Amino acid sequence: MEHELSKIAIIDFGSQFTQLIAKRIRVMNVYCEIFPQNTDFKTVKEFNGFVFSGGPESVNNSESELAAEIIKLNETMSVPILGICYGKQLICHYFGAQIKTNFNREFGKTKIKILKESPIVNGVWDIGAEVDVMMSHSDSVNTIPEGFTLIASGVINQTVAIIVNESRKIYCTQFHPEVKHTENGIGLLSNFLDIAHCSRNWTMQSFIDEQKQKIQNMVGNQKVIAAVSGGIDSSVATALTYQAIGPQLNCLFIDTGLLSNSQKQNINMLQEFPICYIDRSNLFLSRLNGITSPEQKRKIIGNTFIEIFEEEAKKLGNIGFLMQGTIYSDVIESGHASNNASTVKSHHNVGGLPEKMQLKLIEPLYYLFKDEVRILGKEVGLVHEIISQHPFPGPGLAIRIIGEVTEEKVHILQEVEEIYSNTMKNYNLYDEIWQAFAVLLPIKTVGIMGDKRTYKYVCALRAVTSSDGMTADAFPFEDKNKYSLVFWDFLQNVSNIIINKVTGVSRVVYDITSKPPATIEWE
């Protein structure tokens, strides 16, 4: 099946890693889209190949009409299929294999051994090689379906790791090739694209052109409000939308009283867009009074944002749309990428939005990860200071203050974050780190300053490395030899500066937890 623009359809069964599959494929310049499992088959039948994602369900308790239709298409058209984890079990179940629940459960890094050659592993792993892969499954395939060949198995549990049906061009992996913990998993995905005869001609510029056209078609002659925060996501989305519709875009910067000092400074770098400044800090802080639940905080902030935007829309007139800088990691963690996805946390601009809104949403970055947003930012001409900044959550410091949010705590944390960021830049560490921030804890500890007893707050510092925000390691543990000595010196120095300059903090700790099991943000 040949197309001017090759296309891969990813059928999402609820895996937290589904969008990573799309990201890996797009990096190889092949266009792909993600579809929920309830998508009509007619929507996807013209694609060059299909990937069935992982998911939290058991195939013994669920069925997929879409998957069955795609497998039937494969029978007549030999359209390649790659099943990953749950996707593999779904395919095997379709062909009559026995799937055992809670059998040979595996979570995390596991070794597999390559037993035979196959186009899916050729040039990636040699026969006899033992390879580190990332498993995350409770159910296991107990019998190999007729027509399939075992290509790789687990070293310890003899898990059915890779099976293929070469005549049907169906390939199944129990592990996740899309995550970085799988050794050269991207090579396996690349082989699948070759098997599907995909032309590698999709670029970020083609994405920009497509999004501009979509925005123009959606908006028509109506106006759009842009939620501009000074962060990278909203700035890039604003630049892209402004290039699409020009003065039809009305940019609003709402001071929630929960922003870092750098967020406010970044607005001055976006002078090419007409931005209206609105101070509603008292409103946000009053509504958060007494609230300690992070989910409640997010929903209150989300609802308040929408309320203000709708008020401003009435003043401006002919406003039909609200533009947001939502990216896909927000969507995944909020459980909105799939009917089966579990909610890690609601993001204020996804799960935190009210059910009924007067404004329709425009979200041009919806299917992009953070590193792709940075690439897009360069393409649309934003300055380095905007593009290179660390991610900052939409709810702001409200979710970096554990427990109740008060104006005093916000000021304390603003000071800490400014010191942390500036000192990191002085040590030339800022650009080496994916995200760094401080968290103010709801506890106080005893200290000694000037021979006197103190009793003040504890703040936690966090710094992580990541490529996509879906997995992360505490800095500098991934590359200890290169950064350890300078980072420990940095931590001692920045801790001393914080204690001496920030009234209200008497102790500084450092968070070394990776993601998973933790999330990057604390709330």
Q: What separation in angstroms does the CA of 393 have from each of 225, 347, 367, 471, 498?
A: 20, 9, 18, 17, 22
Q: Within 10 A of 488 (CB to CB), how many other CB atoms are there?
A: 12
- The Cα 335–Cα 40 span in angstroms is 21
Q: By the 8 A CB rule, do 222 and 320 touch?
A: yes
Q: What separation in angstroms does the CA of 297 have from each of 197, 336, 345, 428?
A: 48, 19, 11, 34
Beta strand segments in 74-193, E: 81-84, 99-100, 106-114, 130-137, 140-141, 149-154, 160-165, 170-173
Residue 262 annotated as binding site: no
- Residue 511's closest CA among 498, 500, 503, 521? 521
Residues pairing with 318 in the sheet: none
Q: By the 8 A CB rule, do 227 and 309 touch?
A: yes
Question: Which candidate in 92, 137, 178, 372 is catalytic?
Answer: 178
Q: Phi, psi at residue 242, to the nearest 5°?
A: -65, -40
Q: Phi, psi at residue 514, to the nearest 5°?
A: -90, 170
Q: By the 8 A CB rule, do 43 and 19 touch?
A: no
- The Cα 113–Cα 321 span in angstroms is 53
Residue 447 annotated as binding site: no
Residue 506 annotated as binding site: no
Residue 386 annotated as binding site: no
- The Cα 6–Cα 200 span in angstroms is 7
Strand 160-165 and strand 149-154: the pairing is antiparallel
Q: Phi, psi at residue 52, to the nearest 5°?
A: -95, 120
Residue 231 annotated as binding site: yes
Helices 86-94/65-77 angle, 10° precision:
70
Question: Which candidate in 32, 85, 198, 459 is catalytic?
Answer: 85
Specify the 3-state DSSP secondary structure of 259. Answer: coil
Specify the 3-state DSSP secondary structure of 233. Answer: helix
Tokens of 512: 């070394």
For the question of residue 85 being annotated catalytic, the response is yes
Residue type, 68: A
Largest CA distance in the chain: 83
Specify the 3-state DSSP secondary structure of 69. Answer: helix
Question: Which candidate in 93, 137, 176, 347 is catalytic?
Answer: 176
- Count H helices and E strands in the chain, helices first: 15, 20
- Residue 467's closest CA among 342, 336, 374? 374
Residue numbers belonging to the annotated binding site for ATP: 229-235
Q: Give the active site residues.
A: 85, 176, 178
Residue numbers belonging to the annotated binding site: 229-235
